[in-house]
Structure 1
Amino acid sequence: MMSFAALSFAARWLLRSVVVSSIGLSSIGAVACAVACAAAPPGPRSVEEGGGEPSVTAQGPNASAPLPGDGSAASDGGTAVPRPAPQDMTSAPAARQGSLVERGLARGDGSPADEALRRGDAAWRGERWEEALELFERARSLAPQDPAPWVGIARARSRDAALVYGAAAGDASFEEVVVALDRALALQSDFTLARFEKGRVLLALGRPLEAKALLESVVEDAPEDAEAQSCLGVALLASGDVARARERFERAAQLEPDRAERFGNLATTQMMVGGVEDAVRSYRSAVRLDPNSAQYQNDLGVALLAGGDLEGAMQHLSRAVALEPRRATFLSNLAYAHLAAGRPEEALRIARRATELDPKLGSAWINRGTAEARLGRLPAARRALERALQLDPTDPRARDGLAELDELEASAAP
């Protein structure tokens, strides 16, 4: 099963891509929740990449200077809520047996309805969605007062697809999934699995307050379930309660210390409250567990840069680009690191590539303009910064950069 991935979902079912901006850097971490809320990656995409995932912004040093792009909602059109991104989701370690995300619906009583549930569970785990739906429908017809078949129908219809925070908003098929789960809860209001599944579907629909109420009750019933803790963290984060979200992510990491996304989610909230050193430790854990995740390499690099470790940041940001050379946000972050290191020529080369890959990435245009200015190419710098401002007229970095150019040109005038 997939997990709410970058907040990253991306995070990522839910905050697929929780994008945190630090020193103008993009796409820090995805918060993972899950489809059945469990296994999946953080591979959030930034808002600027067109995913539209929610984002949050963490203040970084030198905030007054024109900084490279952040992928934040404020600067590039996202909402002020966190992303496990809608982002592409990758596979994660197999969910623990007995966890809510993997728990089957059959009870083993040998009845015809239970046999249909057992076979439906097997088809669902094998991602044979149509077969699973047919079997759960059969179980429903055989046992119309049993809530379990309705949960199976909901699982088969959601198909572990697009389980990214807010990605299913307005999707009629997901509203039908909610109806199926409501029918299960009408038959048994305390059915934990039905409340769990409905909570995560509500996250996909972008309804965090409703999801939070359900998931809080699920965590009361299943306090040792890491995915339930993580999904509740996503709901809290999307509702603006960062402190409580961090507590849930801390608990999820304690319960499953071998899951990279647990630490990625935790680090995201730590960055949001200014706990850079804590975030670096958590991102290091995520990278250790999943060294080939470009997202975690990027996020660790951003955190290190926020903490002043330029050499370490460069290493991990470069690794992220090597793993995903066409991710414009990763390139933009690396360009910023080169600017910080006093290498405007290299920064310009990388920022140009980022703007070619994603002409709507405001952060890359700001980095590009900054590099041009440092090389003394003021007209080119102005064009780049004007492009950034055109993409987001509210971005103070672009406005401040243009104001600085005005001063430079005025002082150079005869």
Structure 2
Amino acid sequence: MMGDPSLEAARFPDDDPARDWDLAAGSGTRVESAPGWREVPTIDYSLCLNPLEAASEPLNPLPPDPRTTGGGAEERLTFPSRGDIVAGFRIISELGRGAFARVYLAEQVELAGRPVALKVSKALGEEPRTLARLQHTHIVPIHSVHDDPATGLRLLCMPYVGGANLAQVLDRAGARLPSHVTGQSLVEALDQIGGRAPDWDAPRPAGSAPSRSLRHAATRGVGSPSHVRSLFGRYWARLPWWRSLAGTNDICDDEDLTQPARRYLRQHSYVQAAVWIAARLAEGLDHAHQRGVLHRDLKPSNILIAADGTPMILDFNLSAVPRDGGEEAALGGTLPYMAPEHLDAFDPEGMTPPEAVDERSDIYALGLILFEMVAGYHPFSDPPAGLRPQEVLKVMAAERRRGAPSARAANPQVSWGLDSILRQCLDPDPDRRYARAGDLAEDLRRLLDDLPLKHAPEPSLRERAAKWLRRHPECRSAGTVGGLAAALILGFGVLAYSIADRLEVASARVRRSVFRGAFHKCQLLLNTTSGPIESHLPRGIALANQMLEAYGVGRADDWTAGPLVRRLSAAERADLLEEMSELVLLRARARIVLADRSGDEGRRRRALREGIAWLDRVERFDPHPSAALFEERARYHAALGQAAEAHRDRARAATIPPTTSRDFYLLGTAQLAAGQADRAERSLSRAVALDPRRFWAWFVLGLCHADQGRYAEAAADYGVCAVLFPDFEWPHTNRGLALAAAGRFPEARATYDRALEINPNSAEARVNRALTCLELGDPAQALRDLDCALALGRRSPAIRAARAEALARLGRRDDAERDFAEALRARPDDPTLLVARGFFRLASDPAGAEADFARVLRLDPHHARAHLGYAYLLFPRDRRAALDHAERALQTDPRLTDARQVRALLLAHLGDPAAVAEVDRLVLTPTPHNLYNAACALAILAQQIHDNRFLPRALDLL
């Protein structure tokens, strides 16, 4: 629920350029410039380390870091021990520690042993100055600050209010399942962690032993002094929620009668309790913001729930305050609770200036905390393991810019109003969030008081009506209802009709917008002919099923007559019908492809029959069915042996000549799916000529050119797609594939870089950049990308094999062998893994390589790469046999360029002039490898047949 704790202590590696920054706490001054890093003097990268957890981690999760405490042994701080007296404070026990400080329970000797919480750290930073500005019930106050020159320590004296931090309370209460938690669960969790609040003994002489109650509090780790109640008493009396409890004693034990916060938590639902806590925190946050203080590190472990139930903000170590000369304070925080602009400002390569991280970023963090409380989990996932710090920042910022999920979807007990508040808190655009924490606090209070929200939209009319009735219970009586009904029924009917009409229109447009986004994703997943088809097609089919079900397309009634279609404009309806028609075509085609690949004839025939039934539906609802529909259905009929039906559909298709860009596009996709690449190219070229902005026509034309082996043209097609939709990663990914296939590896890598800037979680771009890096001799980057792909859930044999190759190239052959062995234990007969291991063993273990290739050929006698492996293996000792294997590889896969290179070289060694024809084929795709091997083949042929005519051309190719 808390996210990855390691992100709270993210550290840059020793070889990272961030080492050039001064890591002294509070410095924020760059010592030496590193190439490619922009100057941001206000960012202090030492603050990437989480400072004091303020007793939130009793198991001491982080030892002090030498880089943040001076770096040398002579500068290490010596923290006090139990029983020590430091600056007039006797240490009773340690409550917790973090990277920069420790918190102790202590007694102030000079004030009759007053119990205090003592935060001890190096005498740096401006936290005391910050806290001195703040005097609020829901901010942990400061009594005094003491800098001890003898030890170099700073002692921050605060009242000891007991309790536990919010993270501990939620964890103990089981808030990961919020539907099973109540407000009383929070109070019980608070008591279980530290026990009930004791009363403090009477004052005693300085130097005497700690009182029994103080020893009890130190042992139990929590407690609440009675003076806290008097401190907060006047504030509680002003709150409406407290006055409403004045005459209620139910379910409260005697001690809770004087502790209104505990009473409120006990008597309300868990969601209400969470909202109440967030409202109090927002009030404290607003107080800080009004005094120019930003917290910048809000998270559950920096929120204290006192033993009497009072929520309080603590740990202002990273807060921002105006400095002399108008400088900004250092920018820090905890990554999982940063707003997108905060993450971008923290990124040395980001575009957000530090001053853009303002009050609204704190509001975002508070929204994350409230979401986590009511939904049971953090709204955003942890980034994949193995990323560099800059990549972590980019991944997290990109995910947050896409928006947070709905808390109501995770927990139905979350009201529409609360869901709206959370959406406004977590809006990626700071300008659309709450402008002030006070506005957020007001809306949360209004939500608890059943009042209309003032600063966020109310999405549910039904919920507003229910709130009104709860505010006016007298209106529920039969007489009142009858009288009001007679007076209001006519006006309400008119109003209800008007509202319902507007809601229908809005609902139709929202559903249309959702469908459009899903449809574009389906086009990508279902049109693909490269990559992990077994993964893409099922995902696309599942998404298509959701969209068809949402509109009721598969039901018996006329789905086009429903309000979701009827309330759209004429142009929107026409677009929807066209897109729905294409979606059905793509889905039917994908289901048949998967069934065909399964080898199950029964499944294939069922998929064909279902495809025909769905295309029949399209014919009924599409007012202008395209020729592609009838061509496609004719193929399905023919595959089932229904010749008459196939002939009828072909005849119908012939009567509908394509005229529009859409007609040619649909016809081209159908022809490409049928394996008619030449016809598909003509249709798709016509489609883009008629409408140069038809993105998917360009995209499928790129697939068509790649299928024909015309990779340069495919790269150009995807380049047009990238211009049309520059922020969509797939045109860049596919363009990288085409460039790599054309041998333009540096360009391919740059293109994959762009795809990963757009979506750092694109596993396909990661894998393909890794393969390109292997070609470019950068196995270290390849290994990082492949590890990211594995963390993203891509665990195909090809990725395992590529990772082993990267390890081998890094000289880690033992690790590579272990990787192969582990993968083959799970899939002992996987041909991809066996062939990859065979190539890996060629030089060091020829016998093992031959065993791997032989095993694959026993499983599949036509496996192209296994034959290629045999060709390499036999090349030195039996060139005729090697040539036979190379030719078998090309028979199975004519586009296997490595096999063509080997065949050219073998023919040349054998003095066969047919080598020249192979050279001619190789130079059609002028990659460095092709040109080099073509030149070698010509030189060898000239030597073998004693004919120097081939040498000038060989030199030209080099």
User: What TM-score do the two structures reach when normalised by structure 2?
Assistant: 0.28
Residue of 376, 398, 406 corresponding to 2:869: 398
How many angstroms does 1:154 deviate by?
A: 4.2
SS of the residue corresponding to residue 536 of structure 2 reads coil
Conserved? CA contact 2:695–2:724, under 8 Å: yes
Conserved? CA contact 1:347–1:367, under 8 Å: no
SS of the residue corresponding to residue 533 of structure 2 reads coil
**Structure 2 CA distance, aligned partners of 1:84 and 1:403?**
31
**Structure 1 CA distance, aligned partners of 2:557 and 2:684?**
25
Conserved? CA contact 1:347–1:368, under 8 Å: no
1:353 aligns with 2:822: yes
**Structure 1 CA distance, aligned partners of 2:725 and 2:708?**
24
Deviation track 1:339-396 (CA, whole Å, cap 9, x = no partner) reads 112212111121123334444543421333455677x767655432322343456534
SS of the residue corresponding to residue 130 of structure 1 reads coil
Deviation track 1:8-65 (CA, whole Å, cap 9, x = no partner) reads xxxxxxxxxxxxxxxxxxxxxxxxxx99984359789xxxxxxxx99xxxxxxxxxxx
How many angstroms does 1:228 deviate by?
A: 1.7
1:232 aligns with: 701
Deviation track 1:113-170 (CA, whole Å, cap 9, x = no partner) reads xxxxxxxxx975946431499446999xxxxxxx999967843642635549966888
- Go from structure 1 to structure 2 and tell me whether the alpha carbon gap of 1:85 and 1:381 turns closer, same or farther (over 3 Å shift): closer
Of structures 1 and 2, the one scoring higher in RCO (CA 8 A, sep 6+) is: 1
SS of the residue corresponding to residue 129 of structure 1 reads coil
How many angstroms does 1:302 deviate by?
A: 0.5
1:342 aligns with 2:769: no
Conserved? CA contact 1:270–1:276, under 8 Å: yes
1:3 aligns with: none
Conserved? CA contact 2:834–2:852, under 8 Å: yes
Conserved? CA contact 1:43–1:84, under 8 Å: no
How many angstroms does 1:312 deviate by?
A: 1.1
Conserved? CA contact 2:684–2:697, under 8 Å: yes
- Go from structure 1 to structure 2 and tell me whether the alpha carbon gap of 1:297 and 1:127 turns closer, same or farther (over 3 Å shift): farther
How many angstroms does 1:202 deviate by?
A: 3.0
How many angstroms does 1:405 deviate by?
A: 11
**Structure 2 CA distance, aligned partners of 1:249 and 1:276?**
16
- Go from structure 1 to structure 2 and tell me whether the alpha carbon gap of 1:286 and 1:360 turns closer, same or farther (over 3 Å shift): farther
SS of the residue corresponding to residue 200 of structure 1 reads helix
**Structure 2 CA distance, aligned partners of 1:267 and 1:300?**
8
- Go from structure 1 to structure 2 and tell me whether the alpha carbon gap of 1:222 and 1:133 turns closer, same or farther (over 3 Å shift): farther
Aligned ranges 1:288-303 → 2 under 5 Å: 288-303=757-772
- Pairs aligned (count): 303
**Structure 1 CA distance, aligned partners of 2:877 and 2:827?**
27
Conserved? CA contact 1:385–1:401, under 8 Å: no
- Go from structure 1 to structure 2 and tell me whether the alpha carbon gap of 1:223 and 1:393 turns closer, same or farther (over 3 Å shift): closer
**Structure 2 CA distance, aligned partners of 1:386 and 1:341?**
28
- Go from structure 1 to structure 2 and tell me whether the alpha carbon gap of 1:37 and 1:268 turns closer, same or farther (over 3 Å shift): farther
Residue of 516, 521, 530 corresponding to 1:39: 521
Deviation track 1:301-320 (CA, whole Å, cap 9, x = no partner) reads 11111111121111112211
- Go from structure 1 to structure 2 and tell me whether the alpha carbon gap of 1:282 and 1:228 turns closer, same or farther (over 3 Å shift): same
How many angstroms does 1:195 deviate by?
A: 2.9
Bigger CA drift: 301-310 or 392-401?
392-401
Bigger CA drift: 196-205 or 292-301?
196-205
Aligned ranges 1:160-309 → 2 under 5 Å: 160=587, 163=590, 172=608, 177=615, 178-180=628-630, 186=655, 189-309=658-778
**Structure 1 CA distance, aligned partners of 2:552 and 2:673?**
21
| Structure having the higher Rg | 2
How many angstroms does 1:235 deviate by?
A: 1.8
Bigger CA drift: 277-286 or 234-243?
234-243
1:107 aligns with: none
Conserved? CA contact 1:355–1:364, under 8 Å: yes
Aligned ranges 1:134-145 → 2 under 5 Å: 134-135=558-559
Conserved? CA contact 2:715–2:735, under 8 Å: yes
Aligned-CA RMSD value: 4.5
The code of the aligned residue for 2:736 comes to A
1:385 aligns with 2:832: no
Residue of 795, 798, 804 corresponding to 1:326: 795
SS of the residue corresponding to residue 760 of structure 2 reads coil
Conserved? CA contact 1:297–1:317, under 8 Å: yes
1:86 aligns with 2:533: yes
- Go from structure 1 to structure 2 and tell me whether the alpha carbon gap of 1:280 and 1:42 turns closer, same or farther (over 3 Å shift): farther
**Structure 2 CA distance, aligned partners of 1:151 and 1:310?**
47
- Go from structure 1 to structure 2 and tell me whether the alpha carbon gap of 1:263 and 1:355 turns closer, same or farther (over 3 Å shift): same
**Structure 2 CA distance, aligned partners of 1:199 and 1:137?**
31
The code of the aligned residue for 1:398 comes to G
**Structure 2 CA distance, aligned partners of 1:265 and 1:166?**
21
Q: What are the ranges of 5 or more consecutive residues in structure 1 without an aligned counterpart?
A: 1-33, 45-52, 55-81, 93-121, 140-146, 408-414
Q: What are the ranges of 5 or more consecutive residues in structure 2 without an aligned counterpart?
A: 1-515, 541-545, 566-573, 597-603, 616-627, 632-649, 879-958
Aligned ranges 1:8-157 → 2 under 5 Å: 38-39=520-521, 83-89=530-536, 126=550, 128-131=552-555, 134-135=558-559, 154-155=581-582, 157=584
Conserved? CA contact 2:712–2:739, under 8 Å: no
SS of the residue corresponding to residue 324 of structure 1 reads coil
- Go from structure 1 to structure 2 and tell me whether the alpha carbon gap of 1:133 and 1:154 turns closer, same or farther (over 3 Å shift): farther
**Structure 2 CA distance, aligned partners of 1:188 and 1:356?**
56
The code of the aligned residue for 1:384 comes to D
- Go from structure 1 to structure 2 and tell me whether the alpha carbon gap of 1:36 and 1:249 turns closer, same or farther (over 3 Å shift): farther
Conserved? CA contact 1:129–1:157, under 8 Å: no
User: What TM-score do the two structures reach when normalised by structure 1?
Assistant: 0.59
The code of the aligned residue for 1:158 comes to L
Give the fraction of aligned pairs with identical amino acids, expressed as a percent: 19
- Go from structure 1 to structure 2 and tell me whether the alpha carbon gap of 1:172 and 1:288 turns closer, same or farther (over 3 Å shift): same
How many angstroms does 1:210 deviate by?
A: 2.7
SS of the residue corresponding to residue 348 of structure 1 reads helix
